Amino acid sequence: MEMNFDYVVVGSGLAGLYSALCASRYGKVGLVTKADVTDSNSYNAQGGIAAVSGKDDDPEYHFEDTIVAGRGLCDYPAVEILVNEGPALIHDLMEKGMHFDVTESGRLALGLEGGHHRRRILHAGGDATGKFVTSFVLDLVRKEKNIEIIPHCALLGLLVTGDVCDGVRCWNSGTSSEYLIYGKNVILASGGAGAIYRRTTNPDTTTGDGIAAAYNAGCKVEDMEFIQFHPTALAKEGAPCFLISEAVRGEGAWLLNLEGERFMLGAHELSELAPRDVVAQNIEAQIRKEGKGYVWLSLRHLDPEKIKSRFPTIYARCREYGIDMCDRIPVAPAAHYTVGGVCCDENGESSIRHLYVCGEIASTGIMGANRLASNSLIECMVFAQRAVRDTLKQSGEDHSGHIYREEFHLSPENEEFYRHVRKEVSDIVSEDAGIVRTGEGLEKGLAGLEQLQRELQARSAADPGEVCCRMAENLLTVALLVIRGALARKESRGCHFRADFPEEHETFRIHTVQQAGRDIAGIPVKDKI
Ligand SMILES: Cc1cc2nc3c(=O)[nH]c(=O)nc-3n(C[C@H](O)[C@H](O)[C@H](O)COP(=O)(O)OP(=O)(O)OC[C@H]3O[C@@H](n4cnc5c(N)ncnc54)[C@H](O)[C@@H]3O)c2cc1C
């Protein structure tokens, strides 16, 4: 099957939807997504969107908080863009009819989250911001005649000739066939890779396919060692690893060990609202000490009515599993956000022409070594708009006009093999590239992944072009990028903690860059505006 568009957008999270919406003004858009259109991290986002709107706030303060959380690895120009361009896009969204929560006096209700020194988090539906914002943008997308949504169609690879991207190669699980989808410009917005871990807040589809496809096509990928673990996800046997938003701590919830002590008090000046890496590492240390697999998030001292109205989704989900949120919740960290990703410029353009990345897949340099809470939804919008604007500068003449052949088929007997690789990969990264890492553990993890690669090669050789093998290969590529990045970074910084190198080192104030066929390299941070 072949399709042709002016823009091919991959992914229906906020980055993909907003890119498609912006692009639809300039041409025909094919919006390809792996599962249902609402399946995304964006839809599950709870806390909110960080954008300056309060009188006591200023983009400069937002900049400062972002830089502090990023621990020396934020690219300053990118952060400047984010904090300065974000508020206008929020304003525009509200002009179009998006309702964020307001106070009794009708002002925007601004939340506070870890690492922010001002209330600047807009939220909607209490703790259902992602659902409200993505649904709102999806409605706009659905009204656009120029956009065709192609669900259940998973990106497997990119169509690239020389240094020009012509489109994407996908597998449609509905029709069980390959789709070659050509586009004058391709925007990859297929999200991060949190779901390669065992405990994750991400949906099952978030396996970093776009990162693997870009890497395999020759793009540079950077800082993949920085996987942010959210400190507080529900930790009850038989219950899903549901996120308990940072905003809950923003409203005053305490973290208690099993003795009932507030262990964050002595650990950081912001106690429970310290940056996520600090909170996650402290929880992990408590869990290792106490051996029960969780600590308590206690809300006993807070007003129950306020909790129920501010966090209706979390309250209801906890109740489903017999937990009273107004009392205390068992929590433990879970893989949450992929800080690194595909290298790009300040417009999201990768090193391959006509190939853009946007949202969690992209390494814009905004997050540095650790994402500041609620900075990612706004990143999706700011950089979607910039990517589309940038495409207008490109001339259509660069295109190779190359025609590609279909390459893939499905052998159902390999589905079991894919599940095997997925399980092994999640065990390896969870055990060897989790919150606390060591050189020895990472080497062991690397050896495990290489062994899986050998198994895969044998199977692929016996059945070339088999789609489960390609999906397994993409999974292994992403896991290898994480482990190799973590091995190369012999220091601890942000959300990358090495027990054998527990300090931060100036020599590692660099981005780790990986490119197929080359040794891992370090490039300097852009800290000049
Ligand atoms: C539970 C949770 C709560 C969060 N809360 C907040 C918050 O309050 N504020 C905030 O700023 N950030 C939050 N985040 C982070 C934020 O939601 C994400 O970083 C952001 O939504 C990423 O958007 P995206 O569009 O880049 O990716 P996603 O929203 O993950 O969308 C990626 C899309 O690509 C599709 N896809 C994946 N692989 C393929 C493939 N091979 N082919 C085709 N399509 C593919 C997926 O199905 C999905 O539709 C939260 C994340 C989680 C998981």
Residue 525: inside a domain, yes or no? no
Using the mean position of ligand 1's atoms as its centre, give its distance from the Cα of residue 16 in Å: 9
Is the pLDDT at 318 greater than 80? The verdict is yes
Handedness of CA 450, 454, 459, 460 (dihedral sign): positive
Q: Is 47 in the pocket of ligand 1 (CB under 6 A)?
A: yes
Token match 């969107």: residue?
49
Atom of ligand 1 nearest to the CA of 206: 37
Handedness of CA 348, 351, 356, 357 (dihedral sign): negative
Helix (H) or strand (E) holding 315: helix 312-320
Is the pLDDT at 398 greater than 70? The verdict is no
What is the span of the domain harbouring residue 498?
Answer: 412-504
pLDDT band at 431 (very low <50, low <70, confident <90, very high): very high
Q: Is 122 in the pocket of ligand 1 (CB under 6 A)?
A: no
Report pLDDT digits (tens) over 437-455: 999 999 999 999 999 999 9
Is the pLDDT at 115 greater than 70? The verdict is yes
Token match 């229906």: residue?
12
CATH assignment of the domain containing 99: 3.50.50.60
pLDDT of residue 111: 87
**pLDDT (mean) for 26-42:** 97
Residue 496: inside a domain, yes or no? yes
Q: Let me know whether 263 and 240 are in one domain.
A: yes
Is the pLDDT at 397 greater than 70? The verdict is no
Report pLDDT digits (tens) over 9-24: 999 999 999 999 999 9
Q: Let me know whether 156 and 45 are in one domain.
A: yes
DSSP 186-219: EEE-----GGGSSSBSS-TT-S-HHHHHHHHTT-
Q: Is 364 in the pocket of ligand 1 (CB under 6 A)?
A: no
Residue 519: inside a domain, yes or no? no
Q: Which residue has the higher pLDDT, 4 or 112?
A: 4
Residue 140: inside a domain, yes or no? yes
| End-to-end C-alpha distance for the chain, whole angstroms | 47
Is the pLDDT at 400 greater than 80? The verdict is no
pLDDT of residue 126: 86
Q: Let me know whether 350 and 363 are in one domain.
A: yes
Using the mean position of ligand 1's atoms as its centre, give its distance from the Cα of residue 259 in Å: 36
Distances 120 to 12, 94, 115, 438, 485 between C-alpha atoms, Å: 26, 16, 11, 37, 33
What residue owns the CA closest to ligand 1's atom 35? 11
**How far, in Å, CA of 326 to CA of 301, rounded?**
9
Q: Let me know whether 16 and 34 are in one domain.
A: yes
Helix axes 14-23, 129-143, angle to 10 degrees: 30
Non-local (6+) Cβ contacts of 264 within 8 A are 254, 255, 271, 272, 274, 279, 282
Q: Is 246 in the pocket of ligand 1 (CB under 6 A)?
A: no
pLDDT band at 407 (very low <50, low <70, confident <90, very high): very high
Q: Is 188 in the pocket of ligand 1 (CB under 6 A)?
A: no
Q: Let me know whether 204 and 240 are in one domain.
A: no
Q: Let me know whether 214 and 314 are in one domain.
A: no
Nearest to 370 by CA among 492, 220, 248: 492
**pLDDT (mean) for 89-94:** 97
Q: Is 13 in the pocket of ligand 1 (CB under 6 A)?
A: yes
Residue 520: inside a domain, yes or no? no
User: How many angstroms from the chain centroid is the CA of residue 250?
Assistant: 22
**How far, in Å, CA of 289 to CA of 298, rounded?**
19
Residue 437: inside a domain, yes or no? yes
Q: Is 42 in the pocket of ligand 1 (CB under 6 A)?
A: yes
Q: How many helices (H) and strands (E) does the chain have?
A: 14, 21
Q: Let me know whether 256 and 193 are in one domain.
A: no
Cβ–Cβ < 8 Å for 158, 355: yes
**How far, in Å, CA of 356 to CA of 183, rounded?**
12
Using the mean position of ligand 1's atoms as its centre, give its distance from the Cα of residue 105 in Å: 33
What residue owns the CA closest to ligand 1's atom 22? 360
Give backbone dihedrals phi and psi of 329, rounded to 5 degrees, phi first. Answer: -125, 135
User: How many angstroms from the chain centroid is the CA of residue 413?
Assistant: 31
Cα angle 275-276-280, degrees, rounded to a multiple of 5: 130
Residue 406: inside a domain, yes or no? no
In the chain, the number of structural domains is 3
Atom of ligand 1 nearest to the CA of 16: 25
CATH assignment of the domain containing 422: 1.20.58.100
**pLDDT (mean) for 239-268:** 94
Is the pLDDT at 100 greater than 80? The verdict is yes
As a whole-number percent, the residues of the chain with pLDDT over 90 amount to 91
Cβ–Cβ < 8 Å for 82, 386: no
Helix axes 439-462, 467-488, angle to 10 degrees: 160
Is the pLDDT at 113 greater than 90? The verdict is no
Is the pLDDT at 294 greater than 70? The verdict is yes
Cβ–Cβ < 8 Å for 456, 471: no
Using the mean position of ligand 1's atoms as its centre, give its distance from the Cα of residue 444 in Å: 30
Atom of ligand 1 nearest to the CA of 209: 41
What residue owns the CA closest to ligand 1's atom 11? 374
**How far, in Å, CA of 516 to CA of 518, rounded?**
6
Q: Let me know whether 239 and 328 are in one domain.
A: yes
Q: Is 32 in the pocket of ligand 1 (CB under 6 A)?
A: yes
Report pLDDT digits (tens) over 48-61: 999 999 889 999 99
Mean pLDDT estimate for the chain: 95
Would you call 195 exposed, middle or buried from its count of C-beta atoms within 10 A (0-12, 13-18, 19+)? buried
pLDDT of residue 406: 95
Domain finish residue from 295, 313, 335: 335
pLDDT of residue 274: 87
User: How many angstroms from the chain centroid is the CA of residue 214?
Assistant: 16
pLDDT of residue 396: 59
Check: pTM over 0.75? Answer yes or no: yes
Q: Is 183 in the pocket of ligand 1 (CB under 6 A)?
A: no
Token match 């209801």: residue?
316
Q: Which residues are catalytic?
A: 276
CATH assignment of the domain containing 233: 3.90.700.10
Atom of ligand 1 nearest to the CA of 154: 42
**How far, in Å, CA of 522 to CA of 500, rounded?**
20
Q: Let me know whether 69 and 179 are in one domain.
A: yes
pLDDT of residue 127: 84
Tokens of 405: 């052949």
Which region among 28-37, 103-112, 320-329, 415-424 has the lowest average model confidence (pLDDT)? Answer: 103-112
Q: Let me know whether 95 and 110 are in one domain.
A: yes
**How far, in Å, CA of 182 to CA of 195, rounded?**
28
Q: Is 12 in the pocket of ligand 1 (CB under 6 A)?
A: yes
Using the mean position of ligand 1's atoms as its centre, give its distance from the Cα of residue 263 in Å: 31
Q: Let me know whether 421 and 298 are in one domain.
A: no
Q: Find residue 330's DSSP bridge partners.
A: 296
Non-local (6+) Cβ contacts of 408 within 8 A are 156, 169, 171, 178, 465, 466, 467, 470
Residue 524: inside a domain, yes or no? no
Nearest to 331 by CA among 270, 266, 276: 276
Atom of ligand 1 nearest to the CA of 191: 27
Using the mean position of ligand 1's atoms as its centre, give its distance from the Cα of residue 335 in Å: 13
Q: Let me know whether 26 and 148 are in one domain.
A: yes
**How far, in Å, CA of 54 to CA of 153, rounded?**
42
Which residue among 31, 42, 116, 158 has the greatest number of ligand 1 atoms within 8 angstroms of its CB, and so is best to mutate?
Answer: 42
pLDDT of residue 329: 98
- Per DSSP (E only), the strands in 237-312 are 254-256, 295-298
